[in-house]
Amino acid sequence: MVSTRLLAAFLISALAVTSAFAQDRRVPSSQAELRLSYAPIVQRVRPAVVNVYAAKVIQNHNPLLDDPIFRRFFGVPGQQPEQMQRSLGSGVMVDPSGLVVTNNHVIEGADQVKVSLSDKREFEAEIVLKDTRSDLAVLRLKDVHEKFPTLDFANSDELQVGDVVLAIGNPFGVGQTVTHGIISALARTQVGITDYQFFIQTDAAINPGNSGGALVDMTGKLAGINTAIFSRSGGSQGIGFAIPANMVRVVVASARNGGKAVKRPWLGARLQAVTPEIAETLGLRRPTGALVASIVSGSPAARAGLKPSDLIVAIEGQPIDDPNAFDYRFATRPLGGAAEIDVQRAGRPMKLTVPLETAPDGGRHEIVLTTRSPFQGAKVANISPAVADEMHLDMDSEGVVVTDVADDSIAANYGFQKGDIIVAVNGENIAKTSDLERATHENSRVWRIKLVRGGQQISATLGG
């Protein structure tokens, strides 16, 4: 009897659950419900998303071919074979005249760049501006006489975790593809991709070839430029990163104004992260903010009254969690005005106004060293405030900094890196690029070099 009652009760509850599910699962009652879709947004924005093809000629280097006796004996021509190296990415049309924004790493070192539109037409493109600090580049289509569809910029500061977004690009070269997901996180600062570590994280599928493509919000505006993925397999694992539209806007504005480099505000102070130990010392409830470590005399920070040990907690009302967040917020402020920052000094809150102006760049004197020496193929510059800011050098650094090293050059083969500071060569101090250039003209069989890399001094002896 008991078991019969239990069975009856179970059947009644099962019928109730089945009835509930049946109520949830119903046939759409109208055409509108049946046709809920992202298609209208995709149709509107898709023509503004392009494919970017970059090609670079590389020289196949065989060290045996450097030997003239080997070439004469075996009849090998002195000209070494060339090979075309190609890369594929995506881009976004941001100006009807044919201005395209993409990732710098998509076109880095390219000898030829082509842009393919969604209607299959192809155009040669010139590189208008490259900004390695944000990993963005701006291209312009050549020989065009028409207006192109574009995407408007969203205000990326208004995005929220959970917002639905679409990623449009050309993954794996299969053609233009649309994926959808949500914003998983904002203000990701520990990614290590660019100087300005402040990314939108999304679970919309982003794969190789998506770099430079559009991350679009539900109003059809550009929320960000898809840049990187976290993956152990090489494919999408639901963790993708995009550069916020507000940073993209700054780079595009510089290109529209004819600039070859992006002009950004300069603070003139070195900031450091707040560790749990520092937070405890300062009496903070949690380790947040950007701590002022040092200040350049006469800089905007100094004129605003900022002092060492001040804790920056907000800029223009936007909270600051760490120095990366401050760098991004400050870099996206327009030049010519001022920014209000919230500071805690000895536990007391206060507001300071920092003028927004560029770093002094007089006396850079950037040159490429061409004389045969261990430095051949390196580009070097004097350390001006602007160079120190761009290269993240200590503000009191002395010497000549390496700003670039040509691939397969003698300097690259010897292991010189971007950011190395050359302080002495063969016992002579190097204070200016002219000093280093003069040193390279010496016929020396042994080169004794002192340099600073990552704050550490290195001494090396190289063969001539």
Active site residues: 105, 135, 211
Q: How far apart are CA 269 and CA 294, in angstroms?
A: 6
| DSSP code of residue 60 | P
The gap from C-alpha 317 to its chain's centroid, in whole angstroms, comes to 25
The label of the residue with tokens 């152990």 reads 232
What tokens appear for 8 in the block?
A: 């009856």
> Which parts of 332-374 fold into alpha helices (H)?
none
The residue type at 150: T
Cβ-contact 275, 262 below 8 angstroms = no
Angle at 63 between CA 57 and CA 64, to 5 degrees: 120
Cβ-contact 268, 394 below 8 angstroms = no
The gap from C-alpha 146 to its chain's centroid, in whole angstroms, comes to 31
What tokens appear for 295 in the block?
A: 């200040």
What tokens appear for 334 in the block?
A: 């327009």
Containing H/E element for 403?
Answer: strand 400-405
Note the maximum CA span of the chain.
108
Q: Check the CA dihedral 330-332-337-339 and report its sign.
A: negative
Q: Check the CA dihedral 234-236-237-241 and report its sign.
A: positive
Instruction: List Cβ neighbours of 96 (8 Å cut-off, separation of 6 or more).
Output: 147, 148, 149, 150
**Nearest Cα to 94, choosing from 47, 48, 42, 154?**
48
Torsions phi, psi for 422 (to 5 deg): -85, 120
SS3 call for 290? strand
**Nearest Cα to 381, choosing from 398, 394, 364?**
364
Cβ-contact 61, 80 below 8 angstroms = yes
- DSSP letters of 213-264? -EEE-TTS-EEEEEEEE--SSSS--S-EEEEEHHHHHHHHHHHHTT-SS---
Instruction: List Cβ neighbours of 313 (8 Å cut-off, separation of 6 or more).
Output: 288, 289, 319, 320, 342, 343, 344
In our burial notation (b when 16+ CB lie closer than 10 A, e otherwise), range 158-176 reads: ebeeeeebbbbbbbeeeeb
